[in-house]
Amino acid sequence: MATAVEEWVEAQARLAKPDRIVWCDGSEGEAYRLLEIGMEEEKLEGHPVFSPLNHKSWPKAYLHRSHPTDVARTEHLTFICHSDRAATGPNNNWMSPKEAKERLTHLSDGCMRGRTMYVLPYMMGHPESPYARACIQITDITYVAVSMRIMTRMGTFTLDKIRNSSNFVKGFHSVGDFSPDRRCIMHFPEENLVWSVGSGYGGNALLGKKCISLRIASWQGYKQGWLAEHMVILGIEDSKGHVTYVTAALPSACGKTNLAMMESALPGYKIWTIGDDIAWLNIGPDGRLWAINPEAGFFGVAPGTSDKTNPNMIKTLKRDLFNPTLFTNVALNPGTREPWWEGLDGPTPEYLESWQGRPWTGAEGTAAAHPNSRFTVSITNCPTLSKEYDNPQGVPISAMIFGGRRAQLIPLVTESHDWAHGVFMGARMGSETTSAAAGQTGVLRRDPMAMLPFCGYHLGDYFRHWMNIGHRLTRPPKIFSVNWFRTDENGRFIWPGFGENMRVLKWVIDRINGRVSARETPAGLVPRLEDLNLEGITVPKDRMEDLLTVDKEEWKAEVEGIREYLQKYKRRLPFEIDEQLRKMTADSE
Ligand code: SAT
Ligand code: MN
């Protein structure tokens, strides 16, 4: 008798009508067979889906060039299809499940004709973890099949877990004809289903990532009493060998990956990496919050990644424990067949092929690598991988950090007074937009908890859920906010960032352990300058003071902005947020 998985796959095949169906086992041999197919048979805009890079300098690395219109997440084409429209909130695009299914059925009918349908069984989370989820994705492009093997724990063990149950998360993916007019990424939280057509880009196509681990999982977490968050997870080891685990939420392309594997500029401290993008947080029997990283790889932004900004990522990319590694939309040095991007170490090669495969000399006035060009690499290759990465229970969290990209106003680091104030800090977050999503960059948008594009339900309900989680924690983590991105009058970053951010993390740990005091500002508690270890830092003292100062007038405008923004969620806001809003307004007057 067919299992529920087989029945579902057969039903999708009847609709998509692929020439053949291949069930993947997640093995390395299979990944290389898929790469061969992508290099030999499959074409995209006239060029192969994969081409090999220089394996002497970049072991087992392959280049993928996407369709030119398919380079970032497309939030306006992303929908939550819930029978109760109100549950999805003003933060999501909504379509009725019936209408969405009709549209998708039309778009998917025969969409895999002449193609192969790959069936990918994978786990989000360690297979032995009580918090893990079994998933099945189908796709019709090798790029997604190979990427999913890097980004998730893929293998037939998933099928052994599911057996005959229907308890698995379903993902239907087809690149369709890549047309933005026929592209949509639809989520059906009530059916544990994601259906995505028309894009091969990361967050639109690697469904285990944003679609399942955040949009679908956040809804499951809401119903079941846990949190799915857009957060890095890291361990900070001090000079005595004690490790403190923290999470940090920052919007896409704001330095989460660099933070997750930072090389500490403070002697005696070391960072251990658990995850760079997503955290699933559960309340442990000890009343603490425990985090797992459901993913198994990094899908990171290439431009700006160098030995200087993130030496451990360069090591990860050049390591050959788990392979292959993929580069998407970076530039190519055709002479050496090495990948290249803006910010990479060394001189700019004289002649390059741009991310679109065109000759590039630098005179074009455009970047050679797409600003959202990416690498896809296994977390196993990371030299700073924490020994707790595979722990099925996860790690206990002592602090949560919210961060954004703000050129002005928001201090380098701020501590909240308590859980409710901390949740409010997350809720009021703003950040200047980046190229990780289609649209204008550099505009301030409110991005609560860095979850605006990823929360699968009403943000008002989400804030209430956070407050409720707080009530159930007997040992809640402390909540902080950070901003590495303040600029001076010439638009230059004041804080050096990267490894120097350890100085801020040290203060966070000192606060957790009650070793230092703090100073009150309208935004929250900030460090006293003497409590920050600034040895060897070149930022002048008055500039440092600036970084820890909140301008009263600017803050007033900020308060107005926050109030206006949160108004959108008014009917469902928890009373605690209202209370925080009132208090903030009173304090700013
Ligand atoms: O959405 S992706 O996961 O592809 C990248 C990002 O925006 O964080
Ligand atoms: Mn992300």
Domain coordinates of the chain in residue numbers? 4-42+74-225, 229-295+389-587, 298-381
Ligand 1 site, residue 446, Cβ cutoff 6 A: no
The hierarchical CATH code for the domain 229-295+389-587 is: 3.90.228.20
**Token reading at 175:** 């690149």
Q: Which residues pair with 306 in a beta bridge?
A: none
Instruction: Give 10-residue mean pLDDT values along the chain (589 residues).
Output: 96 98 98 98 94 98 97 96 98 98 98 98 98 98 98 98 96 97 97 98 98 98 98 97 98 92 97 98 98 98 96 97 97 98 96 97 94 98 98 98 96 98 97 88 93 98 98 98 96 96 98 97 96 95 96 95 96 96 92
Q: What is the pLDDT of residue 437?
A: 86
Q: What is the pLDDT of residue 442?
A: 87
Determine the length of the chain: 589
The hierarchical CATH code for the domain 4-42+74-225 is: 3.40.449.10
Residue 254 catalytic?
yes
Given the candidates 3.40.50.11540, 3.40.50.300, 3.30.70.20, 2.170.8.10, the CATH classification of the domain at 298-381 is: 2.170.8.10
Report the b/e string of 50-70 with b at 16+ CB within 10 A: bbebeeeebbbbbbbbbbeeb
Q: Taking phi first (over 0 means left), then psi (-120 to 50 degrees means alpha), and beta for anything else, what does residue 268 get?
A: left
Q: Which residues pair with 377 in a beta bridge?
A: 298
- Determine if the peptide bond prior to 324 is cis (ω within 30°): yes
Q: How far apart, in whole angstroms, are the C-alpha atoms of residue 150 and residue 153?
A: 8
Catalytic choice (135, 254, 382, 455)? 254
Q: Hey, whose CA ends up nearest to atom 8 of ligand 1?
A: 252
Q: What is the pLDDT of residue 496?
A: 96
CA 65 to ligand 2 center in whole angstroms: 21
Rounded (10°) CA dihedral 572, 440, 227, 165: 110
Q: How far apart, in whole angstroms, are the C-alpha atoms of residue 266 and residue 238?
A: 10
HSE, side-chain direction, 13 A CA sphere, residue 36: 6
Of the residues 299, 431, 435, which should be mutated to test ligand 1's pocket, given the most ligand atoms within 8 Å of the CB?
299
Residues with CB under 5 A from ligand 2 (ion): 252, 277
CA 277 to ligand 2 center in whole angstroms: 5
CA 267 to ligand 1 center in whole angstroms: 33
CA 299 to ligand 1 center in whole angstroms: 7
Q: What is the pLDDT of residue 529?
A: 96
Q: What angle do CA 212, 214, 219 make, to 5 degrees?
A: 90
